[in-house]
Amino acid sequence: MNLNLIENNHRWLFYYLVRPDDIGSLVINYVPKQNYWVIDVLRSPVIEVTSCFFDGQNLRRGRIYYIDKFYGENDEVVEKPENFKKWAQQIFSVTKKNLLKFDKDYIGEEAKKWLDQSGNKF
């Protein structure tokens, strides 16, 4: 599994993962003042990915994140579909297995090597 998305030689720093079966369940809102569309992460079955940023001198944290339940219109708890939650948990499990625990973070071998050699921090 690789969360490094590159398009036209540019690395994506922010994107969403969605199961093909869940595409029809995405809640997308138009923001007229900025003239673009946004995915409603609270109500949509997505995993939000913010990739690490590294420019050779600075390493910034990334994260993967999802919401499995939220409060609905009448303050009732709304659970996202079980299939989505199982899939998201699998993504997190595979990600953790392929990274190294480093304090409270999970990092790749190359990041660990760079941090150790440079003495830098996140």
Mean pLDDT in residue range 83-100: 94
CB 17 within 8 A of CB 51: no
pLDDT of residue 56: 84
Residue burial 71-92, b: 16+ Cβ < 10 Å; e: rest: eeeeeeeeebeeebeebbeebe
- State the pTM of this model: 0.84
pLDDT of residue 119: 81
CA–CA distance, 122 with 113 (Å, rounded to integer) = 13
CA–CA distance, 70 with 15 (Å, rounded to integer) = 21
Domain boundaries, the chain: 6-118
CA–CA distance, 84 with 112 (Å, rounded to integer) = 31
H-helix or E-strand containing 102? strand 100-102
Residue 12 has pLDDT above 90, yes or no: no
CB 113 within 8 A of CB 102: no
Strand arrangement, sheet containing 14-17: 14-17, 47-50, 63-65
Mean pLDDT in residue range 48-58: 89
Given the structure tokens 């398009």, which residue do they identify? 7
